[in-house]
């Protein structure tokens, strides 16, 4: 059995999930999950390994029986040091529908709020209703405000990439 065909069983109870910082050795699995999602932009395998080394403080993986079944990659924006930008969220197809993505995002925010992170940003293409629902749910459950605005048009990309809207989750600002 090749690593890309190795899957956790879909009957695993969500409480058996371990949430932790990624390790360099998890990079291969992150790349496989992204590739298998058939939705995410798949970055080079090198970028996932590097991500697990350089951005492990701002990323999280979920594992069942030692096998990574989901991940959230993010980084703190240099121009906005209280903002976590979430790059990718993915869950292995066999584990979807169990709330892992929301639990990973909440766990990551819980860890980072003690370091001064108060805002989360991400980009989502307008037709990605699952991601829009995920981030809206996280904002609602945490009692935070969510806003959306256009950020990248298809012309901003060198390929056939869809537009990307910026979603911002954080405390409601009073003007």
Give residue limits of the domains in the chain.
Answer: 17-170
Q: Cα dist. 120→12, 131, 170 in Å?
A: 30, 14, 6
pTM equals 0.87
For the chain, strand residue ranges (E) read 18-20, 60-64, 67-77, 80-91, 119-124, 145-152, 164-170
Q: What is the pLDDT along the chain (175 residues), one digit of tens a residue?
A: 333 322 333 444 456 899 999 999 999 999 999 999 988 889 999 999 999 999 999 999 999 999 999 999 999 999 999 999 999 999 999 999 899 999 999 999 999 999 999 999 999 999 999 999 999 999 999 999 999 999 999 999 999 899 999 999 998 764 4
State the CATH class of domain 17-170.
Answer: alpha beta
CA torsion sign for 130, 84, 125, 34 is: negative
> What is residue 175's predicted lDDT score, i.e. its pLDDT?
47
Q: Could you give the count of Cα atoms lying within 13 Å of 80 in the half-sphere of its Cβ?
A: 11
Strands 145-152 and 80-91: unpaired
> What is residue 10's predicted lDDT score, i.e. its pLDDT?
43
Q: Per the structure block, which two tokens stand in for 10?
A: 């879909």
> What is residue 172's predicted lDDT score, i.e. its pLDDT?
73
> What is residue 15's predicted lDDT score, i.e. its pLDDT?
60
How many angstroms separate the CA atoms of 39 and 120, rounded? Answer: 22
């Amino acid at each position: 059995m090749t690593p890309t065909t190795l899957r956790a069983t879909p009957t695993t109870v969500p409480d058996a999930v371990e949430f932790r910082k990624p390790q360099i050795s998890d990079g291969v699995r992150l790349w496989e999950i992204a590739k298998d999602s058939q939705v995410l932009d798949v970055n080079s395998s090198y970028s996932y390994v590097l991500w697990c080394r350089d951005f492990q403080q701002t990323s999280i993986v979920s594992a069942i029986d030692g096998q990574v079944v989901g991940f959230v990659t993010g980084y703190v924006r240099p121009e906005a040091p209280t903002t976590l930008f979430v790059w990718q969220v993915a869950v292995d197809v066999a584990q979807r529908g169990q709330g892992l993505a929301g639990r990973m995002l909440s766990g990551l925010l819980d860890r980072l709020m003690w370091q001064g992170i108060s805002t989360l940003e991400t980009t989502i293409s307008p037709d990605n209703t699952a991601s829009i629902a995920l981030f809206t749910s996280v904002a609602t459950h945490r009692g935070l405000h969510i806003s959306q605005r256009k950020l990248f048009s298809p012309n901003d990309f060198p390929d056939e990439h869809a537009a990307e809207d910026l979603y911002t989750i954080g405390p409601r600002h009073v003007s």
